[in-house]
Structure 1
Amino acid sequence: MTIRYLTALVLASSLLALAACGQKEDGATAANPGGAEYVVGADAAYAPFASENQQKQLVGFDIDTMQAVAEKAGIKIKIINTPFDGLFNALIQGDRDILISTITINEQRKQSMAFSEPYFVARQLIVLPANSKITSFDDLKSHKIGVQSGTTADEAAQKLIGKNSASVRRFESMPLAFQELEGGGVDAVVGDNGVVTHFVKNNPGKNFRIVDDPGFPDEHYGIAVKKGNPELLAKINYGLQQIKADGTQERIYKKYFADNKQ
């Protein structure tokens, strides 16, 4: 092999490697600094936090909040409907850069992801048929409970009646859980107050009532990113600070929750 041929071969190999790197950067999400935008996951079956309008666009409190944060932080985002039971894996595997989907900050979740400062305070509520005699969460020990899979309501139900109990009925979305309650397949549904009050208020014909058990602790929602990305987390926290300071967050809250009594 001549020196001239060897040099040409090395040069060609280098150019191919550079081209491959360039292609990877062009197609990367913004978790990679070379990417054009951050891909955000949100579950669109969780009104009023996130749902699809008639044009199949994502709308809701979480959506408006994330867009406002991104604007203040100076980052580009693309929000994609992602079922809740697949959210965390999507983040860990790199299919999503950011998650905003009524995600309660807790120690278990902190082990696999990093959270922003809280942006919403929530608590669990119980939804029941109007004629139900149940008055507290403890009363559900001998009943069938509907929850959205993987949520803090799911965790609470497991603690109450057992992790492997068949009486904990898990659903892909809250609307499916409410549908099962209406049909008598479960005796109660437990879920976050914002979602519960929104559903009951907008479905008066279903004849549901709400029980607010004081034993449920406050929960704080956070925006999640993959561990090891402090720069992105800092940008999100900066955006949150800005929308709190200039009144944007309050305006978004009033848009979706001004009439809530819970």
Structure 2
Amino acid sequence: MTALNTRRFLQTAGLAVAGLLLAACSKQEPTAAAPAASAPAVVASAPAPAPAKVYAVGTDAAYAPFESQNEKGEIVGFDIDVVTAIAKKAGIEVKFTNTPWEGIFNTLGQGDRDLLVSAITITDERKQTMDFAGPYFDAQQLIAVKKTSKISKFDDLKKLKVGVQTGTTGDEVVSKLQGKTSTNIKRFESTPLALKELEAGGVDAVVADNGVVINYVANNADSKFKTVADKAFAPEQYGIAVKKGNAELLDKLNKGLADIKADGTYDQIYAKYFGAPAAAAPAASAASK
């Protein structure tokens, strides 16, 4: 082999070896497949708690000092404070709604109201269609007349024009005295309206819950009224009405009432409106529908 050929051979062989080395260096180890991304864990969320039931309370807010509306339109009064305190002890929420006396019991029967507090007298007749928590207040009827009137007892009203609030105990007792269809019985939507009629001379007397009458006379000195008590009026008691058979709510209300009487809350509320603890108050300073 000539020198030229020998040099070409060595060059060719060197190139071949270099190529083999480059090929070897360019080989890569196979990469392991990346693990598949795991799906995010699904955390089961606890169901949202059901909102606390708010009990609808019906009240005829035209019966001060038991229930009325202040200048802001808020419902206030003895009954309101008592039920609010009872609800707090019972661990329930309540919302008061102004409900006209006429038809108030229908709202309970139809389920539009869960309970009623409106100076409601507990009677055997009412017990047939509703249940009562309590009693929470001792009550009695009272006669309102003008200061110049000679009326001295209930029987004097037998042939006179008498104003009453429709469907109340006052309406019932006067109806028994004069007869249910007597044209001398003048019925009004509220006791204050009946008392306004007395002031105007449209009736000779008004028979109503004594707490309401006393409150009206005390706050309307210009009316020049006086009150007449009569032993013929039977003692009465107020209760909180609930739908017939609603034992669960009835138990809560009775327990709450017992609690506010035990810790002195009831006496504080009573003194706020009537000036004396309930136990010391004479029967003549009470009231009822």
Q: TM-score, normalised by structure 2?
A: 0.78
Instruction: Give 1:36 deviation, angstroms.
Output: 2.1
Is residue 241 of structure 2 the alignment partner of residue 221 of structure 1? no
| CA deviations over 1:149-173 (Å, ceiling 9, x no partner) | 1100000010000011111111001
Paired position in structure 2 for 1:13? none
1:145 to 147, 162, 166: 162
1:1-262 matches, cutoff 5 A: 36-258=53-275, 262=285
* Residue identity matched to 1:252: I
Distance, in Å, in 2 between the alignment partners of 1:109 and 1:186 is 29
2:7 aligns to what?
none
Instruction: Report sequence identity in percent.
Output: 58
Q: Report runs of 4+ in structure 1 exceeding 6 Å deviation.
A: none
**Structure 2: tracts of 5 or more residues without a match:** 1-49
RMSD between aligned alpha carbons?
Answer: 1.4
1:33-80 deviation per Cα after TM superposition (whole angstroms, max 9, x unaligned): x86210000111000000101110011000000100000011111000
1:244, 1:180 → 2: CA distance? 38
Alpha-carbon shift at residue 217 of structure 1 (Å): 1.1
Residue correspondences, number: 230
Q: Secondary structure at the match of 2:187?
A: strand
Deviations 1:198-256 (A, max 9, x none): 00011111100000111111100000000111000000000000000000000000000
Helix, strand or coil: the match of 1:79?
Answer: strand
Gaps of 5+ in 1: 1-25, 27-33
Larger Rg: 2
Given the two structures, how large is their TM-score scaled by the length of structure 1? Answer: 0.85
Tell me, in whole angstroms, the C-alpha distance in 1 between the residues paired with 2:178 and 2:256.
41
